[in-house]
Amino acid sequence: MRTVPSIASLILSGISLCASVYLVVIELQRSPFCPPVLGIPACYLVTVSYALVLWSIVFHHSHFSSMLFWIGSIAGVSMAIWFSANQLLGAAHCPIILGIPIPLCYASLVAFITLILLHIAKEKPHSQTQL
C-alpha cells in the first residue's frame, strides 16, 4: 500500500518528468534553449534525473530503488542549485515556458528538494518501527 508521501512523490516526479521532456522537445526544435552542462543541454540531464527518481518510486520494492532515487535526486538538486545560483548572478538564463515568469531552474530546485523531503518522510515511519 502506498503512503501519502509516496503518492505525492509519484505525482510530482511524473509532472516534473513530463515538463522536462517538453523542454527536451523544445531543445531539439530550437537549440540552444537549455543551458549546457559540459556541452550537454541541462534539460537532457534533468530529464534523466527525474526518470531515475520516478523509476525508483514506481519500482520501490527493487533492491536498487533507493540508490536510483539518491543518484537522480542528488544530480537533479545539484544542477538546480548550480543553475539557480547562476540565474541569480546573471551568468546563465534558465528556460521559462508557458508564459509563467518563473525560471525552471527554480522550479526544479523546489521539486527536487520536495522529492527528497517526501522520500525522507516516507522512510521515517519505516525506520522507527525497526528500532
Residue 126's pLDDT is 56
The whole-model pTM stands at 0.88
What gap in Å lies between CA 30 and CA 16, rounded to an integer?
A: 21
Query: The domain containing residue 18 runs over which residues?
Result: 4-129
Q: Which three cell numbers stand for residue 28?
A: 531539439
Note the pLDDT of residue 127: 52
pLDDT band at 31 (very low <50, low <70, confident <90, very high): confident
pLDDT tens track for 42-83: 999 999 999 999 999 998 887 889 999 999 999 999 999 999
CB atoms within 10 A of CB 73: 22
Task: Report pLDDT for 131.
Answer: 47
- The per-residue pLDDT for range 89-130, each reduced to its tens digit, is 998 889 988 888 999 999 999 999 999 999 998 877 655 545
Alpha carbons within 13 A on the beta-carbon side of 50: 27
Half-sphere exposure of 101 (CA within 13 A, CB side): 0
Give the chain's domain count: 1
Q: Best-predicted range by mean pLDDT among 4-8, 37-41, 72-76?
A: 72-76
Query: Are the C-beta atoms of residues 50 and 76 closer than 8 Å to each other?
Result: yes
16, pLDDT greater than 80: yes
